[in-house]
């Protein structure tokens, strides 16, 4: 690695994604947020893609938070803080630390220090989430007691000491080591696997996406790539939530179905009908919400950002989770149909029995009529 490779300007960014509610009323949340002195909010828009190519279904709200202190390698640093709200119930808290005048080695080391400082139950996330929820709480619809979480890291370079092309960065900066977090050199096979999802639009920009980290060289300081990777991560978070929710519902459903089918015909019919209505409501709700998540970023053309977005979705295995959710919904739909048919059949049997009893009663009356 050349000793002259220096990062002139850039940023290290850590994201914590949390599922906090079934839905967030973004307009209400913004009103609540800006009602506090000094608080700002704006809607997120992609700056380099046309609305006919790539656009948010419902533009998320970006809340500007007060800066916080964070310690990296024993050195206190000032971190810029934001919280982005998605209407489908996700909040993304971002810690952004501007950097300048660092060697590539120091840049990589500080990146790993940020990873350690913001890992797991770091107080900075707890404090930031409490600050946001204390203000926008009334805008949450059906808030969740337990928050599912994802995290992601971005190493962003806006300028090197000397102008660089994407090819030169690949040769001179060991991006695989940066993205793996390893101190020792990686094998050529592993390095190639880590940098498999690499993209460039111009000669002097580069994006490399991995499961939990991304490297961006963006001299024009566009934030669109960060935004669309964030959306893909938010979709992963939500699909994980619905996948786990349906797992719990399926486990409970089998017991409920067994109970609904037992006992006297009339009571069993009512229990089956009641459970069928509940399952129908669950399917309708989850289908509506998953469609909202899947349509959070609308892609109409195969532009550069759309390719990055599609690669991130595949890398995060969002399509597989979505298919798993669809399969579980199909099982619940089939169960609903079977229960509904069974309830209808039992009602028909009861009606037939009632008719037969009436006929028998009339015959008996006729036989014993004086």
Identify the domain boundary among 203, 222, 241. Answer: 222
Q: Show the CA angle centred on residue 303, arms to residues 297 and 305, nearest 5°.
A: 55
Q: Are 110 and 99 in contact (CB under 8 A)?
A: yes
Is the residue at 69 inside a domain? yes
Q: Are residues 30 and 131 in the same domain?
A: yes
Residues 115-170 pLDDT 10s:
999 988 888 999 999 999 999 999 999 999 889 999 999 999 999 998 899 999 98
- What's the Cα-to-Cα distance from 90 to each of 17, 36, 52, 55, rounded to whole Å? 7, 22, 25, 18
Q: Are 94 and 84 in contact (CB under 8 A)?
A: yes
Residues 81-106 pLDDT 10s:
999 999 999 999 999 999 999 999 99
Q: Are residues 161 and 198 in the same domain?
A: yes
Strand 61-72, strand 206-209: pairing? unpaired
Is the residue at 20 inside a domain? yes
Is the residue at 21 inside a domain? yes
Beta bridge pairs of residue 92: 17, 84
The dihedral through the CA atoms of 17, 69, 157, 187 has a sign that is: negative
Residues 254-310 pLDDT 10s:
766 666 555 444 455 566 666 667 777 778 888 888 888 888 888 777 688 889 999
Is the residue at 47 inside a domain? yes
Q: Are residues 179 and 318 in the same domain?
A: no
Average pLDDT score, the chain: 86
pLDDT computed for residue 296 by the predictor: 84
Q: Are residues 137 and 83 in the same domain?
A: yes
Q: Are residues 209 and 325 in the same domain?
A: no
Is the residue at 288 inside a domain? yes
Q: Are residues 216 and 237 in the same domain?
A: no
Is the residue at 290 inside a domain? yes
Q: Domain range holding 199? A: 6-222
Q: Are residues 143 and 203 in the same domain?
A: yes
Residues 3-47 pLDDT 10s:
468 999 999 999 999 999 999 999 999 999 999 988 999 998 888
Torsion of the alpha carbons at 222, 169, 176 and 75, rounded to the nearest 10? -70
CA-based R_g, the chain, Å: 28
Q: Are residues 63 and 200 in the same domain?
A: yes
First CA to last CA across the chain, in angstroms? 115
Prediction pTM value = 0.86
Is the residue at 1 inside a domain? no
Q: Are residues 156 and 215 in the same domain?
A: yes
Q: Are residues 63 and 122 in the same domain?
A: yes
At 311, is the secondary structure helix, strand, or coil? Answer: helix
Instruction: State CA 171 to chain mean position distance.
Output: 34
Q: Are 279 and 336 in contact (CB under 8 A)?
A: yes
How many domains does one find in the chain?
Answer: 2
């Amino acid at each position: 690695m050349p000793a002259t490779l220096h990062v002139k300007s850039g940023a290290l960014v850590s994201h914590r994604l949390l599922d906090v509610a079934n839905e967030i009323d973004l307009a209400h949340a913004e009103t609540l947020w800006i009602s506090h002195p000094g608080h700002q909010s704006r809607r997120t828009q992609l700056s380099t893609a046309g609305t006919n190519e790539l656009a948010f279904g419902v533009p998320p709200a970006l809340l500007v938070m007060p800066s916080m202190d964070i310690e990296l390698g024993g050195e206190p640093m000032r971190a810029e803080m934001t919280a982005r709200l998605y209407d489908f119930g996700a909040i993304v808290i971002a810690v952004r630390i501007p950097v300048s005048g660092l060697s590539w080695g120091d840049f990589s080391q500080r990146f790993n220090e940020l990873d350690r400082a913001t890992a797991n139950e770091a107080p900075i996330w707890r404090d930031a989430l409490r600050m946001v929820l204390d203000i926008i709480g009334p805008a949450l619809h059906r808030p969740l007691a337990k928050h599912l979480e994802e995290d992601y890291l971005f190493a962003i370079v806006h300028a090197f000491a000397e102008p660089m092309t994407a090819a030169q960065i690949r040769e001179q900066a060991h991006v695989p080591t940066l993205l793996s977090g390893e101190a020792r050199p990686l094998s050529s096979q592993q390095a190639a696997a880590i940098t498999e999802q690499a993209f460039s639009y111009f000669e002097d920009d580069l994006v490399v996406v991995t499961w939990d980290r991304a490297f961006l060289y963006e001299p024009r300081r566009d934030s669109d790539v960060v935004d669309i990777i964030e959306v893909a991560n938010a979709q992963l978070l939500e699909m994980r939530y619905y996948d786990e929710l349906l797992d719990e519902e399926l486990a409970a459903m089998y017991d409920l179905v067994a109970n609904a089918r037992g006992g006297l015909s009339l009571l069993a019919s009512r229990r089956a009908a009641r459970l069928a209505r509940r399952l129908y409501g669950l399917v309708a709700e989850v289908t509506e919400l998953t469609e909202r998540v899947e349509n959070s970023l609308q892609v109409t053309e195969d532009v550069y950002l759309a390719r990055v977005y599609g690669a991130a979705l595949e890398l995060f295995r969002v399509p597989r989770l979505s298919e798993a959710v669809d399969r579980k919904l199909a099982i619940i739909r089939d169960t609903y149909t079977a229960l509904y048919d069974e309830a209808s059949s039992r009602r028909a049997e009861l009606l037939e029995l009632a008719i037969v009893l009436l006929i028998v009663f009339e015959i008996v009356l006729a036989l014993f009529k004086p």
